[in-house]
Amino acid sequence: IKFKDAVGRKFSFPWHICKSWKGMEELIKQAFMHVEVLGPHVHEGHYDLVGPDGEIILPQIWETVIQP
């Protein structure tokens, strides 16, 4: 999965990990581990995931809308 964060960094996350919300959440937390201002907010879950069409993807529906 191609992931671009709030500070413009780009990541490629493996499908087998990020197809579940738990896996995706862990990858996001790891990506922000050393980001001073935003890191603590991300670790508390204060962020939105936005799909390629600009729509917000809620954690509750992540596994039904995510595609490789």
Q: Which tens digits make up the pLDDT trace of 13-55?
A: 999 999 999 999 999 999 998 888 899 999 999 999 999 899 9
Q: Is the pLDDT of residue 6 over 90?
A: no
Tell me the two tokens of residue 48: 């939105």
Classify residue 39 as exposed, middle or buried by CB count within 10 Å of its CB (0-12, 13-18, 19+): middle
pTM given for the model:
0.87
